[in-house]
Amino acid sequence: MLNKTEDKLHGSDSLFSRFQDYLGEFVYGGIDGCVTTFAVVAGAAGAGLDSAIVIILGFANLFADGFAMSVGAYLSCKSERDNYEKHKRIEYWEVENMVGKEIDEVRDIFKEKGFEGDLLDKVVNVIISDKDRWVETMMRDELQMLPSSKNPFTVGGMTFISFLTVGFIPLFIYVLDYLFGLDNVNLFVYSSVLTFFAFCIIGFLKSYVNETARVKGILETVLLGGIAATVAYVVGDILEKIVK
């Protein structure tokens, strides 16, 4: 039995539980935001641009790409829910108009689960005695579809927020330099260090979502960001030399 602390953490109405439901959106929005923004910073550093230009390019990327990604996440979640509801309506029609066939399908489902004889007959009768239960069984066991409890607006909002907050990290030192004029500071190095720690945290959370090894999740995320930044830096450096 759960103690009070565990019940608070795992309860369906707890803040932790609600955030945990959308942790995947936060992680992938954060990864995309941090990678793309750091790539912009790296490209600007390679081209030798000053802080004001980096900030303009970085924030333009944050809001434009963040909005686009959040809209995509919203539409994907809504499409998944709409697809589930469409097939659910089809199943209701079938249990009302193709009764014999649907009963046979229920029997086949539970026969494959190991039920037989009188027990199989009782299980089938229990399932088909309630239309809602019958449809839910067909959705789960025949179509392999489960309802999503996620709200499309929340999915899109969480993606946008994580994209902005985590994606801002590579820009943080440039904003400080623009506001306070930092002297003798290698901005790109500081941005790289901050971004590295951001990648580590996001990589850790990604491994939690995917239930994979923590070290693997961190290394994959850091490697991805490093490759993106290296490509952007090299391209920026080459273009800066060509334009000159």
DSSP per residue over 6-36, as a string?
HHHHH-TTSHHHHHHHTHHHHHHHHHHHHHH
DSSP category for residue 129: T
Contact yes or no for 171/59 (Cβ under 8 A): yes
- Separation between Cα atoms, residue 234 and residue 185, nearest integer Å: 21
Contact yes or no for 199/208 (Cβ under 8 A): no
pLDDT digits over 185-242, tens only?
888 889 989 988 988 888 888 887 777 888 888 888 888 777 877 777 777 768 767 7
Q: For residues 235 and 118, which has the higher predicted lDDT (pLDDT)? A: 118
pTM metric for this prediction: 0.78
Q: For residues 172 and 213, which has the higher predicted lDDT (pLDDT)? A: 172
Furthest-apart CA atoms within the chain: distance in Å = 85
User: How many Cα neighbours within 13 Å face the side chain of 217?
Assistant: 19
Among 18, 9, 38, which residue's Cα sits nearest to residue 202? 38
Rounded to the nearest angstrom, the gap between the alpha carbon of residue 3 and the centroid of all alpha carbons in its chain is 30
Share of the chain above pLDDT 90, in %: 44
| Residue 91, pLDDT above cutoff 90 | yes
Residues 32-59: what's their mean pLDDT?
86
User: How many Cα neighbours within 13 Å face the side chain of 130?
Assistant: 7
| Residue 2, pLDDT above cutoff 50 | no
| Residue 10, pLDDT above cutoff 60 | no
| Residue 129, pLDDT above cutoff 80 | yes
Contact yes or no for 30/218 (Cβ under 8 A): no
Q: What's the pLDDT score for residue 19? A: 62
